[in-house]
A and B are shown apart, each in its own frame.
Chain A
Amino acid sequence: QVKLQQSGAELVKPGASVKLSCKTSGYTFSTSYMSWFKQIPGQSIEWIGMIYAGDGGTGYNQKFKGKATLTVDTSSSTAYMDLSSLTTEDSAVYFCARRYYDGTYYSNWFAYWGQGTLVTVSS
């Protein structure tokens, strides 16, 4: 079955960077898309961007350009998100989620999600 396993919680200092991972199994990673989302506890969810594992092509929410960088490693079926120049406003839970694919078409929604990674930015 499809599984997305995210890396553990991070405590990072302001100004630093952090790299989150999302290890997948149960489907063909190399022809899939992965999106990342941000959720501050108690608040709504924001879409950060999406990456195609086939060629590393990316699309970002303008709000997160320069903040987030998405990459993949097809050899390990893992997606990554780098967050740079962290501030307290980046403290949140970050989720990865696979773009829906019915075997023929991709749709811009998400049925499979990772469990989330809590990032806390504090000195």
Chain B
Amino acid sequence: DIQMTQSPSLLSASVGDRVTINCKASQNINKYLNWYQQKLGEAPKLLIYNTNNLQTGIPSRFSGSGSGTDYTLTISSLQPEDFGTYFCFQHNSWPLTFGSGTKLEIK
């Protein structure tokens, strides 16, 4: 199975900050990497698919980049509604696997 390692596991930032979350795969996943946001008691919400494609309806302050085994989610200017837990997700190989999550707190 492909292991997905996220960092940091906890992130505290202020409104307006630029925030970066990292995800490292245990092997090359060929840019088949998505990012999800999850709030307490809710289903995951798709933000980015295939590394750098913004899902419909997602604000442009979210962006993704990466290749090979290393991927990044960036929020250019943090907003109060961006709190929650962020997961990376690889769909290059079976079984599909998620990262361990990054909890983003707003200062």
Are A61's CB and B34's CB within 8 A?
Answer: no
Q: Which of B44, B89, B95, B99 contacts A63 (CB 8 A)?
A: B95
- With most chain B CB atoms within 10 A of its CB, the pick from A63, A111, A116 is A111
| Min CB gap B34→A, angstroms | 5
Q: For A6, give the chain B residue with the smallest CB separation.
A: B43
| Min CB gap B48→A, angstroms | 10
Q: Which residues of A lie under 8 Å from residue B94 when comparing CB positions?
A: 59, 61
Q: Which residues of A lie under 8 Å from residue B96 when comparing CB positions?
A: 35, 47, 61, 108
- Tell me the chain A residues, 80-123 only, with Cβ under 8 Å from chain B: 95, 97, 100, 107-111, 113-116
Interface string of B66-107 (1 = CB under 8 A from A): 000000000000000000000101010011111111000000
- With most chain A CB atoms within 10 A of its CB, the pick from B32, B95, B100 is B95
* Interface residue tally on A, bucketed by range: 20 to 34
Q: Which of B32, B42, B46, B98 contacts A45 (CB 8 A)?
A: B98
| Min CB gap A35→B, angstroms | 8
Q: For A46, give the chain B residue with the smallest CB separation.
A: B98
- Where chain A touches its partner, the secondary structure class is strand
Are A114's CB and B91's CB within 8 A?
Answer: no
Question: In the bound complex, what is the Cα–Cα distance between A44 and B89 (angstroms)?
Answer: 10
B62 CB-CB contact with A under 8 Å: no
Are B87's CB and A44's CB within 8 A?
Answer: yes
Q: Which residues of B lie under 8 Å from residue A75 when comparing CB positions?
A: none
Are B46's CB and A109's CB within 8 A?
Answer: yes
Question: In the bound complex, what is the Cα–Cα distance between A35 and B87 (angstroms)?
Answer: 17
Q: Which residues of B lie under 8 Å from residue A47 when comparing CB positions?
A: 95-98
* 22 intermolecular pairs with C-beta atoms under 8 Å apart: A43-B101, A44-B98, A44-B101, A45-B87, A46-B97, A47-B96, A47-B97, A61-B94, A62-B95, A63-B95, A95-B44, A107-B49, A108-B32, A109-B34, A109-B89, A110-B44, A111-B49, A113-B43, A115-B42, A115-B43, A116-B42, A116-B43
**Would you list the 9 A-B pairs with minimal beta carbon distance, nearest first?**
A113-B43, A108-B91, A61-B95, A47-B96, A45-B98, A111-B46, A109-B91, A44-B98, A44-B100
